[in-house]
């Protein structure tokens, strides 16, 4: 699919800047900006960074020991918040890569734990040194949150992530105290459920983080079809895991329409509390639109805005952009937009592409009333509140309205 030209473009911030500025931007956002100096060699078929052209990034050269000394000193100047976990991976101004492919990554993780009093969170598909990562987890209890991207252990692994570590290695990473949560997904019958049982057999304490992968723009059609195909099997796979009674905490997150249904009362009560009139226009992504149309039809104008910037099958209000909203405007003079749209890592009142609220209003000539209570804190609370597999099976799959809800047409 070709990329639509943006109507609203953010002001570029790195033109003519030194790469250390990128490092500082990341560090100020709580990220540890190690760079491989190249794109991610793992080349997973499902990678959300396949097309990250919507946001400006700048690739610093491969991180040197001197850069690392700069990073560590910068981190040490920041006050310690016991609730904060500094994040290795998931950069905002740099392309995402598996940072454990940097030959110094393990050594620098140890430096971080030794020379700072701060906590660390990281993601990897498993490129960690096995005895070392378990030793560090045991030596620094509570300071490491290790999210292992297992994705799948079965036959689809080779097709989706041919350059990732072998299953044998991943199982060794799981076997010990290091991994806090393992994420893996449903692609077919006996995929997610088999993985859950296999992982629980070697690690009874890590969180099992499951669901379906959502294709975004740039992902090949065959891979997107495989990701979407997993949805058909999600109910039966979830029931198998439920019946298996695994000791681990089990969560299911990635299905927006399910999350919206399970939080329908909260969504409706929050909408009521806004006290909007019939003529007011409220911006919503697909699933929230469906809930509000079902329970509060005619109480306001619900402007369904597709996640056109991220494309694929995205369905998330937090990840809407001002450009997405601008494309849906017709004759509105005023629109109500949830605050979560403009709380991205790009700064206050900016969307995930970096476009500001002020730029949106100036270019579209549409006035915006920000719905402050609908912020990312609210969105995250709803995501986690009912995010357990138990909730999905008991409150969604067994709910008498589920089939009728799923059959409702999605907004155009």
Of the residues 43, 65, 155, 205, which one makes contact with ligand SF4 according to CB under 6 A: 43
Q: What's the rounded Cα separation, in Å, for the pair 302 and 306?
A: 12
CA dist list (Å): 157 to 60, 189, 365: 31, 15, 49
Can residue 148 be called a binding residue for ligand SF4 (CB under 6 A)?
no
Q: Is 58 helix (H, G, I), strand (E, B) or coil?
A: coil
Does residue 49 bind ligand SF4 (CB under 6 A)?
yes
* CA 288 remoteness from chain centre: 18
3-state SS, residue 401: coil
**Cα 239 → chain centroid:** 25
Q: Does 40 bind ligand SF4 (CB under 6 A)?
A: yes
CA 140 from chain center: how many Å? 27
CA–CA distance, 287 with 266 (Å, rounded to integer): 14
Nearest in space to 396 (alpha carbons), one of 216, 234, 268 = 234
Residue 99 binds ligand SF4 (CB under 6 A)? no
Shortest approach of ligand SF4 to residue 39 CB, angstroms? 8
List the one residue from 8, 32, 44, 128 that touches ligand SF4 (CB under 6 A).
Answer: 44
Pick the stretch among 95-103, 139-147, 246-254, 318-326 that binds ligand SF4 (CB under 6 A).
95-103
Q: How far from chain centre, in Å, is Cα 22?
A: 21
Q: Which stretch binds ligand SF4 (CB under 6 A): 93-101, 305-313, 351-359, 361-369?
A: 93-101
Interacting span for ligand SF4 (CB under 6 A) from 38-46, 113-121, 200-208, 221-229: 38-46
Say whether residue 42 binds ligand SF4 (CB under 6 A). Answer: yes
Query: Nearest approach, Cβ of 23 to ligand SF4 (angstroms)?
Result: 19
Does residue 97 touch ligand SF4 according to CB under 6 A? yes
Q: 389 and 238 in contact (C-beta within 8 Å)?
A: yes
Rounded to the nearest whole angstrom, what is the least distance from the CB of residue 247 to ligand SF4 in the complex? Answer: 28
For the segment 316-375, give every residue that binds ligand SF4 (CB under 6 A). none
CB 361 within 8 A of CB 367: yes
The nearest distance, CB 185 to ligand SF4, in angstroms, is 12
| Strand, helix or coil for residue 224 | helix
Give min distance, CB of 147 to ligand SF4, in A: 11
Closer residue to ligand SF4 (CB): 67 or 98: 98
Q: Binders of ligand SF4 among 115-134, rule CB under 6 A?
A: 125
Q: Are 137 and 146 in contact (CB under 8 A)?
A: yes
Quick check: helix, strand or coil at residue 238? helix
> Which of 98, 375 has the CB closer to ligand SF4?
98
By the criterion CB under 6 A, which residues form the site for ligand SF4?
40, 42-44, 47, 49, 96-98, 125
């Amino acid at each position: 699919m070709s990329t639509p030209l943006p109507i609203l473009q953010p002001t570029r911030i790195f033109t003519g800047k030194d790469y250390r500025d990128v490092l500082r931007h990341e560090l100020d956002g709580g990220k540890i900006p190690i760079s491989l100096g190249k794109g991610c060699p793992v080349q997973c078929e499902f990678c959300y960074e396949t097309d990250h052209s919507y946001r400006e990034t700048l690739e610093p050269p491969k991180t040197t020991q001197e850069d690392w000394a700069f990073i560590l000193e910068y981190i040490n100047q920041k006050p310690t918040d016991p609730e904060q976990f500094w994040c290795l991976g998931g950069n905002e101004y740099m392309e995402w890569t598996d940072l454990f492919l940097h030959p110094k990554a393990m050594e620098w993780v140890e430096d971080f734990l030794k020379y700072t009093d701060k906590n660390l969170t990281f993601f990897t598909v498993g490129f960690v040194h096995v005895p070392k990562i378990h030793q560090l987890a045991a030596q620094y209890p509570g300071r490491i949150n290790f999210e292992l991207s297992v994705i799948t252990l079965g036959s689809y692994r080779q097709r989706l992530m041919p350059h990732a570590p072998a299953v044998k290695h991943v199982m060794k990473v799981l076997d010990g105290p290091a991994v806090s949560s393992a994420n893996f997904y449903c692609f077919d019958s006996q995929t997610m459920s088999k993985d859950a049982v296999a992982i629980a057999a070697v690690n009874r304490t890590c969180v099992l983080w499951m669901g379906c992968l959502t294709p975004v723009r740039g992902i090949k059609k065959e891979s997107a079809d495989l990701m979407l195909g997993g949805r058909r099997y999600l109910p039966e796979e979830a029931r198998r895991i439920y019946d298996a009674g695994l000791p681990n905490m089990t969560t299911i997150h990635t299905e927006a329409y399910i999350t919206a249904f399970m939080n329908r009362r909260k969504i409706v009560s929050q909408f009521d509390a806004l006290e909007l009139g019939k003529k007011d226009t409220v911006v919503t992504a697909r699933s929230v639109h469906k809930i509000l149309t079902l329970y509060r039809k005619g109480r306001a104008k619900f402007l369904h805005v597709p996640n056109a910037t991220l494309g694929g099958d995205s369905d998330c209000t937090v990840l809407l952009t001002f450009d997405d909203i601008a494309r849906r405007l017709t004759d509105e003079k005023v629109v109500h937009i949830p605050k979560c749209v403009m709380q991205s890592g790009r700064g206050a009142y900016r969307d995930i592409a970096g476009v500001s609220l002020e730029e949106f209003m100036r270019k579209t000539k549409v006035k915006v009333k920000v719905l402050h209570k609908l912020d990312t804190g609210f969105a995250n609370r709803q995501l986690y509140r009912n995010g357990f597999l138990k909730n999905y099976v008991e409150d969604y799959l067994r709910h008498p309205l589920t089939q009728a809800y799923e059959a409702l047409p999605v907004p155009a």
